[in-house]
Structure 1
Amino acid sequence: MAKRTDIPQFGLLSGIRVVHCTTSIAAPLAASLYAENGAEVIMLENAKTPCMSRNRYGGPLQQNAKNERNLSLDLPTLEGKKVFLKLMEQTDIYIEASKGGQYDKWGLNDEVLWEHNPRLVIVHISGFGQTGVPEYVRRGSYDTIAQAFGCYMQLNGFADQPPIPAMPQPVDHLCGVFAFGTGLAALRKAEMTGKGESVDLAQYEIAMRCQNSFPVDYTMVGEKPKREGNHSAICCGYGLYVCQDGKSVYVMILGGGSIKRALPLLGLEFGTELFPADSSMIYPDTPAGDLLEERFKEFCLKRTVKEVEAVFLANEVPCSRVMEYDDALENPHYQAREVFKEWEKVDGSKFTGVNIFPKLKNFPGQIWRGAPSVGMDNEDILAELGLSDEEIKELYEKKVITQRNI
């Protein structure tokens, strides 16, 4: 267990309290970013069903719920709502992830929460938003559903095959980052004005927002996107190539400088009629593009991935072998920047996960605690809200709160 006073003061966000009632990836990631940067974060976990991030090896929980305290609460009950509203009175940012309108059904809409705390920032994360066509608002969603509805999935895969979902869960992770940033912006405004904000974050809209120029290419000139697979559809020398040892390298010969440095490596001459000196891109389905691709494939198939990477990097042509986790663990740059970090779980065992990023010079984040077990901090949190031992005992008896050693 951990009291509020046990939380060390560190990072950019010390002194801020964030509460989240979420599951899966998007919202837990947002909460984790707050916790890694020094905010006090309380995870409200369903008293009836543990968070799905505890399934299998529990890796997502350990990665995203470190530095957090845990209150396991049956929120929709009368007693659960009373505890929740008392907690909201002392909270800066509340993050929830559910179907649109769920909190309205529980009698806990934004206006009710603002009656208890006018400065509260409320971040709603849902698949289809809090407003719009009711049939859509009440739909359930996960990352791949948002990819499908948000026109994201159509972009991924190979042109001659059906679309495939991009992995691992890019829309969820983007939503988490949007929730983190927008929540902080809203908090700054609340501190300036004394008035809170409600953030309506719909997964499919974030999927649409993060598609670069593809949506506007269609809205402005009617150009539909093409699934590119592992190679650019508009530029040669820009994609994945298989090497002699069966491993792959990803190369980008893009821009005049890269073209000028890359062509001689392939036995081609820069500044000719075929490859003019003002070229910044070599186009497919042209004599220059066909020749470049032929030479490039031959070059890679005669060399190991290590050799290909060494030649191109020595000539300042952007490239990288396709790394796997064992490569990353052994890589000197990964090691020098401490990409992987070991910390202690609350049961005393060790856990190796991905470190805190981005790195900060003056107010860095830190890991002070592993992910909590279900209801691990019930007594401490409720006592801080002013509940007596008898009141806490009664909540346990009514199963409004619970504890599980997982």
Structure 2
Amino acid sequence: MTTTIEAKSDSGPLSGLRVIEMGQLLAGPFCGQMLGDMGADVVKIEDPTKGDPLRQWGRQLPEGQSLWWSIVGRNKRSVTLNLREPEAQDIARKLLSTADVLIENFRPGTMERWGMSYEALAKLNPKLIMVRVSGFGQDGPYSQRAGYGAIGEAMGGLRYVVGDPSMPPSRVGISIGDTLAALFATIGALAAVRERGSSGRGQIVDSSIYESVLGVMESLVPEWQVSGYQRERTGAILPNVAPSNVYPTKDGKWVLIAANQDTVFGRLAVAINQPELAADPRYATHGARGERQEELDGIIGEFTSTQLAQDLEVLLEKHGVPAGKIFRPVDMLTDPQYLARESIISVDHPVLGPVSMQNVFPKLSRTAGTVRWPGPALGQHTAEVLSGIGITDSDLSTLRARGLA
């Protein structure tokens, strides 16, 4: 059972921060989602015809509604403007003249062609922070290339080390490159807001997908540069770290067990009714277990295959062995830890009714972020937002008739 939240119009630590989001799909919009989750007023500018393509993305489109959009578009106000047209660009500039943050993830050079370079916008609004998310960054020989998340994952080093060693480089089952770029963009935006408090000036935050992936690749580069060691694909294990793997259960599920420390391995040996393993020279030390990793995994897997997943979890917890099921959505929706922390909430959708989705993370004790509404309909807030810069209903009707809004 999930917790149903009530919409709040003004909450979160970023309440009062005005963000204009341009661009589409995931890297830029996920940055906007995180800022909106923490209370910022995020105004998303979309093309009047179809809007953000993410509105049509996802494996399931019940009632023609993208469940993915309901999350990435949450807490945002949708305004339609055809930014390819000069008059619509003028309107965008008016919106940006009093904004705190601009998020854009077009190919580098697009904003400049539209007369909205940082230099031009800074003349209108010196405090504006321009968050630029792209595949390869705003400069360098690759900057003009199409920068999809998958390419950034490959160039940043992630794809090479993911997957089974007997297979070609694989991928993580989510758009991790885009998400990482959005996370770094968000960190940069918050740092720039903090610095602006001292200087009174905005600046550019340049977040590239490939560098964001590179940023989480641990010691991959110095391992090669200093010692010539190249990390390879290792599937579900880390070489020479044992036991630390996923193990089968009697009911066809998988449980991850991480017992590579000597003391923890001793407790695991007792739990699987083979306490003598902890004193056996073949398994007694971290190094010895690493050398016999496959053999040891076989011994453990033989035991876990006789246990139901739930019973195995209870047994391992009793013996102080870190372990956990491989979760799917069906597990998340009923798990007591998820329920206790309200990790998943139910948000009222105007078409679909209650929709379960992840809550706002991280949690703040005093000024927590909230999900105030799901992804809005295309152009739902156009009149509301544009009236704030003096555009009347009559003006808006004319703009719409001309395909500008």
Structure 1 residues 49-88: aligned runs within 5 Å = 49-55=50-56, 56=61, 57-88=65-96
Change over 3 Å in CA distance of 1:46–1:248 after alignment to 2: same
Partner residue in 2 for 1:219: 225
Any gaps of 5 or more consecutive residues in structure 1? Answer: 1-5, 402-406
Cα distance in 1 for residues equivalent to 2:396 and 2:221:
53
Give the secondary-structure state (helix, strand or coil) at the position aligned to 2:370.
coil
SS in 2 for 1:344: strand
Q: Which residue of 2 aligns with 1:231?
A: 237
- In the alignment, is the contact (CA less than 8 A) between 1:245 and 1:304 conserved in 2? yes
Distance 1:39 1:274 in 2: 57
TM superposition shift of 1:36: 1.4
Q: Secondary structure at the match of 1:137?
A: coil
Q: Is the 8 A contact 1:255 1:281 kept in 2?
A: no
Shift of 1:126: 0.6
Shift of 1:284: 3.3
Structure 1 residue 90 displacement after superposition? 1.1
Greater Cα shift, 301-310 or 226-235: 301-310
> 1:27 offset after TM fit, Å?
1.7
The answer to whether structure 1 residue 392 and structure 2 residue 396 are counterparts is: yes
Residue identity in the other structure for 1:126: S
C-alpha deviation, 1:111, in angstroms? 0.3
Q: CA deviation at 1:272?
A: 5.1
In the other structure, the counterpart of 1:175 is: 181
CA drift at 1:369: 2.4
Tell me if structure 2 keeps the 8 A contact 1:53–1:59: no
Asked if structure 2 preserves the Cα contact closer than 8 Å seen for 1:100 and 1:128, the reply is no
- For the pair 1:138 / 2:144, whether they are aligned, the reply is yes
Equivalent in the alignment of 1:115:
123
- Stretch deviating more after TM superposition (6-15 or 53-62): 6-15
For residues 145-204 of structure 1, give each alpha carbon's deviation from its aligned partner in whole angstroms, at most 9, with x where no partner exists. Answer: 211222210011111111111121112221221111110110111221111110111101
Name the counterpart of 2:341.
337
Partners of 2:13 and 2:85 in 1: CA distance: 36
Task: Give the deviation of 1:349 after TM superposition.
Answer: 3.0
> Percent same amino acid among aligned pairs?
25
1:244 aligned partner: 250
Q: 1:84: how far off?
A: 0.8
More displaced stretch, 253-262 vs 315-324: 253-262
User: Residue 27 of structure 1 aligns to which amino acid in structure 2?
Assistant: G
2:387 aligns with one of 383, 388, 392: 383
Contact 1:240/1:248 (<8 A) preserved: yes
Give the partner amino acid of 2:147.
Answer: S
The structural deviation recorded for 1:309 is 1.9
TM-score (structure 2 length as normaliser):
0.91
The CA deviation at 1:87 is 0.6
In 2, Cα distance between equivalents of 1:303 and 1:10: 47
- Report if aligned partners of 1:339, 1:355 keep a CA contact under 8 Å in 2: yes
Within 2, Cα distance between the matches of 1:262 and 1:79?
69
Report the CA distance between 1:22 and its aligned residue.
2.5
How many residue pairs match? The answer is: 390
Distance 1:217-1:296 versus aligned 2 partners, 3 A rule: same
Kept in 1: contact 2:185–2:206 (CA 8 A)? no
Q: Does structure 2 retain, via aligned residues, the 8 Å contact 1:259–1:280?
A: no
> What TM-score comes out, normalization by structure 1 length?
0.91
User: Does 1:352 pair with 2:356?
Assistant: yes
SS in 2 for 1:90: coil
